[in-house]
Amino acid sequence: MSDQFKKQAAERAADDVTSGMKLGIGTGSTAEFFVHALARRVADGLDVIGVPTSERTRELAESLGIRLTTLEELPELDLTVDGADELDPQLALIKGGGGALLREKIVAGASVQMIVIADGSKEVATLGRFPLPIEVVPFGLETTRRAILQVLEDMELPLELALRGGAESPFLTDGGHYILDAHLQQIADPGTLADRLVAIPGVVEHGLFLELATKAYVAGTDGVKTVLPI
């Protein structure tokens, strides 16, 4: 049922797209449903141009006939549509489970609006159940890891930090970086955590997306509901 809900949310977001729009196109399983829904509308004559947030999304969109560009060519976008690993009632998000958080945040930040598409399992009262991805440069990894742990300790958060993929074959992002996943359970003050993490040399970006989403479509057994930030 989860895939069906993801598809419903994605198709609802695709209905919001109008000809002439400059779109940010997200990454992940829910975003892929959006790409397919958008491609069907493009085949019917919808005129849009998109900026993909990952190589995976770029390949899929190109294969389906969606016209693409880059932020270098089109630095300002009308709308980004993307999934989320978690969203709270304020539409604060955790993203990055698919490893594309840096490009996703750059594209979302370049957009006037951001629509989140998700199934109901992604809604939480407080962020943190899903591990928080922290994208870091490989150089000085241990120094960066210790600095992150110090921030977590200062904020009385769990000191559980794992290198995605493990030391033998770490996951590599499209930007050539590693990801450390912080298992925090609950993040009482995401704003402070976001500020402290991004201030660490070696941290490229983190998966807290705050004050970026303007609307969410969340699908469940009762259909697709619209969520606006409180």
CA distance 99 to 207: 9
Which DSSP symbol is given to 51?
Answer: E
Contacts 24+ apart (CB under 8 A), 140-149: 140/201, 140/202, 141/178, 141/202, 143/202, 144/180, 144/200, 144/201, 144/202, 144/203, 145/180, 147/200, 147/201, 147/202, 147/203, 148/180, 148/182, 148/197, 148/200, 148/203
205 is catalytic: no
Q: Is the dihedral of CA 21, 98, 128, 119 positive or negative?
A: positive
Q: Amino acid letter at 65?
A: G
**Contact between residue 220 and residue 120 where contact means Cβ atoms under 8 Å apart:** yes
Single out the catalytic residue among 11, 32, 86, 104.
104
Give the catalytic positions in this structure: 104
